[in-house]
Structure 1
């Protein structure tokens, strides 16, 4: 295996809107990010990934881009961006930009031109189809609910949008579209950015002929039917050939619905396409038996299923591809609330336990803002406290129209799975608005910021922050952690997640108790050379206390 710089890296994801306000408008911005770079350097991360910062009408929190070469004025100017990039590099970190090229905003000039007629320069930049029997061209539904087609009278045609109507899908079959995308990528890479996270990149190639879906569920069509189209490899290979191979960068493709076998095809160590994928298998567990509800449920994740999902990817990609490792991101609820418990009695233990379990695996870890503090879900009590488009569309469809769920049950589901839990402002200290802003914040803070905040964490050597700092240090120091093969232990154990890593005659033993019970497990840990890290201050050998996690080195 040829070792690349990104295999040694730990990535920190920043949701710019919620990270740090510097100009007193209640919204995070680029100068705010610059002001917090010493904090991120102290944590020890190597790469910062920013959610979209381009000009946008914000129909989907910036994933609807109106101008790829302009900064959203709320976040700052291009001069602010250039200064931020310079400061990130000065602080010995790299920058990963979000590349959103499955779709644009409906306000992008390409779409504004495209919808005017069938014979202008941009007429075929998007996917247009004639009505069929006076209706949409097929039965596809959009990811956020509702039909995936919207009619435009000027053209007498429908356009495809796999997400919101304000996010029309680009027509990748058109070579001019692809060349336009390559130019966008070169624009940012020539500025010195260090790579891209590519939003839903496995949706860019649509099924030939755009046939009806066999069973159009209310949700899930995007990944169950449209993903991984017939020309995806061709497009990614062309992207690499025309652009990526000319820069020493990191690329991660978000690929809902992809299997490990798909990932090897798109990101194999010799595939000349991307470096790694974001897969969704472990974060889509505990679904409802009713497919019409999609992701909405509050069912606890079963540990054997979680282990199976993560172990599958660890084993399949070993020596063939490279994993991305994450619990949290801007589209997921907070991990401590979802995969363990945010009960104040155990929250710090569970946050450390989850971090250890993931960071000892093979792959590049991604830390989402606030994860290093053990931030939690908010526990809202009414619909009007939410912000996310997906929440309101889902409520309208599932509660108001279809009446599949009653309001109180849906509120429980939202409290468990809404994306908004990840988007509340970063909790910096216990002052008003948690040090995020001195104005009215764009989104209400989680009230627990008085107790859970960065200032308090940095003052406490036993905090989640320092545990994550140590996990990052261990990865930087150890080829065993970075490259070792993965060997699961007792996959059907419903209480303990244990596995081994092997590399050049050394072995790592990772043990995590996912329960609030004290249990016993003997994996010969008494014969280890060293206890590398634990979320307790002493070691009881075979005894595992509530949410205890520990890593042993065998030499």
Structure 2
């Protein structure tokens, strides 16, 4: 795939009134997270200040003016802790330090200060299900004899000789158990370098409370909780075979490894700590659970909010989008939280590419699990269609009640990088699947800042993942000052949203077939045409549109805001 640079997809300049262009926060300080726009930074691929090919904290600091120019409310910083990078930083050596390749604790403090001075909150990733195998606890456990208390912080079991205790698979493929030299096995739901913690152990619980306070004391405003639904496990023996286990997405707490009810006792303890601060620290759960069980993670005495990945997983279809929106707004109302909306992150194929793929009955292309086949072939991507739908999708998302999560580079209309050479791949999913899955590296390629240069402005020493030649056309420099660019659309949309966003409700309007039309408090309207034929727009002023209008008609794959 060699995408062409994004063209001018905006209509003639809109004329929103100055009343909509405001920097005023739409919520109180304590509730800032309810309607926030959060920008995810994958630190190794954002900006490289020292030229070693890997992004770092000083690099992020240098780009704070850019972040402020977007109009975001918060940054979500993916793991920056010391790590061997067996899983992109989600294998943590030390939860209360910074990877020396990314900077120092002093650099972190400077980043917090720079963001706060710019009016931007900071959310950091916390990874409680597992440590790395280089964490001091696991090093101690490896060196300790069987049945030592040092092993109690993890999940060790005896197998049957060279056979593991069960036939369970890890998320990345292969056995979920790894064996030490003394014959004992430990559980790892992800890579072998990520041993699962035993959350029945009081020291594990106490240590993470210390970690929450450590970062909160340094000014962190919230936490994104990785694999929040996996901490508590039912390890009653004999272990059931994987052939008898329920599907994780349908288990409703019956799966021994996922979404056990006991996990909520842990998060009640966390909430007590988070509420020690003024304002209370926010938290959002990454929990792949049925929608009906998501509410407990987002409860006021729990984490407070949980990711809703339903739009990310939905095909570009009117009926699916409306159902997802209705269901999640109802859930948010029931538990007093606010919904989250997201289309892309560091784990999935970028949605500007997904929306340009042919419809895939298996769903694999859409959710990013196996986009490229093992032989290196790829489905044909309609780049122009994908970008047009991605622009329409973000305007629709930003019009919804709740918080919106953006992934670095999506504001540039960035496409997935599908042509990474095998020698450059880093994702353990590729290696553990023996190449059956290409993995997630394609969405983690360092983003382009300039039209040309060794790494398109990422840093002076190249980039740790190979950037394609076509990146320059998508760069910040290429789009700056172009009112029709995707970057300009995001900036305008976020600025206008601040002046319009209020309340937690919407009212559906009849827009006809393939049209998603709703009104927000104050009379603000959002209309998305999922069909191919243009549709009539209501008699109202167009504030912003994701693509050119056809007179008083809204073309297919286009969203417009009206007032």
Partner deviation per Cα, 1:258-311 (whole Å, 9 max, x = no partner): 12322222213xx311121123334345xxxxxxxxxxxxxx765534543344
Match of 2:268 in 1: 237
- Distance in 1 separating the partners of 2:419 and 2:395: 29
Trace 1:206-217 onto structure 2 (pairs within 5 A): 206-207=233-234, 209=236, 211-213=239-241, 215=243
Over residues 36-92 of structure 1, what are the superposed CA-to-partner deviations in whole Å (9 max), with x where a residue is unaligned?
000110111111111100001110010000111221111011121111111111122
What SS does the aligned partner of 2:562 have?
A: strand
Q: How do residues 260-299 of structure 1 correspond to structure 2 at under 5 angstroms?
A: 260-268=291-299, 271-284=300-313
Match of 2:516 among 498, 519, 532: 498
Q: What is the rounded CA distance, in whole Å, between the counterparts of 2:42 and 2:84 in structure 1?
A: 17
Structure 2 residue matching 1:55: 3-state secondary structure: coil
1:509 equivalent in structure 2: 525
Change (3 A) 1:57 1:387: closer
Aligned match for 2:460, one of 395, 417, 438: 438
Larger relative contact order (CA 8 Å, sep ≥ 6): 2
> Does the CA contact (< 8 Å) of 1:142 and 1:221 recur in 2?
no
Deviation at 1:141, TM superposition (A): 0.7
Deviation at 1:334, TM superposition (A): 0.8
* Residue in 1 that maps onto 2:558: 548
- 1:4 is paired with a residue whose SS is helix
3-state DSSP class of the match of 1:124? helix
2:429 corresponds, among 390, 394, 417, to: 390
Q: CA deviation at 1:112?
A: 1.1
Q: Note closer, same or farther for the CA distance 1:535–1:221 as it changes in structure 2 (3 Å cut).
A: closer
In 1, Cα distance between equivalents of 2:510 and 2:351: 23
Question: 2:409 maps to which residue?
Answer: 370
Partner of 1:324: 340
Partner of 1:406: none
1:60-209 correspondence to structure 2 within 5 Å: 60-115=87-142, 116-118=144-146, 120-132=148-160, 135-154=163-182, 156-207=183-234, 209=236
Other-structure match for 2:483: 461
- 1:289: which partner in 2? none
Distance 1:265 1:21, change over 3 A: same
For 2:249 and 2:133, how far apart are their aligned partners in 1?
19
Compare 342-351 and 320-329 and name the one that shifted more. Answer: 342-351
> 1:333 — aligned with what?
349
Alpha-carbon RMSD: 2.7
**2: CA distance, partners of 1:527 / 1:139:** 62
Quick check: 2:399–2:501 contact (8 Å CA) kept in 1? no
- Mean Cα displacement is larger for which, 349-358 or 231-240? 349-358
Task: Give the aligned partner of residue 405 of structure 1.
Answer: none
Aligned pair count reads 504
Aligned partner of residue 95 in structure 2, secondary structure: strand
Residue number in structure 2 paired with 1:295: none
- Take 1:420 and 1:129, find their aligned partners in 2: how far apart are those partners? 33
Structure-2 change in CA distance of 1:430 and 1:104 (3 Å)? same
**Given the alignment, which residue of 71, 81, 89 partners 1:44?**
71
The answer on whether the counterparts of 1:513 and 1:547 sit within 8 Å (CA) in structure 2 is yes
| Cα pair distance change 1:254/1:486, threshold 3 Å | farther
Q: Is the 8 A contact 1:142 1:222 kept in 2?
A: no
Cα distance, 1:230 vs. partner?
2.5
Structure 1's 117 and 499: CA in aligned 2 closer, same or farther, altered over 3 A? farther
Show CA shifts across 1:367-404 (max 9, x none). 111111100012327544533211232245x5xxxxxx
Structure 1 partner of 2:57: 30
1:536 to 547, 550, 554: 547
CA separation of 1:471 and 1:193: change in aligned 2, threshold 3 A: same
Distance 2:328 2:89 in 1: 30
TM-score (norm 1): 0.84
Tell me whether 1:526 sits opposite 2:558 in the alignment. no
Q: Residues 246, 183 of structure 1: CA spacing in aligned structure 2 closer, same or farther, 3 A cutoff?
A: same
Q: CA deviation at 1:167?
A: 0.2
1:429 aligns with 2:428: no
Specify whether residues 486 and 334 from structure 1 end up closer, same or farther in structure 2 by C-alpha distance, changes over 3 A only: farther
Q: Quote the Cα distance in structure 1 between the aligned partners of 2:226 and 2:234.
A: 19
Aligned to 1:314: 329
- 2: CA distance, partners of 1:142 / 1:216: 16
Q: Does 1:478 pair with 2:507?
A: no
Report the TM-score, using the length of structure 2 for normalisation: 0.83
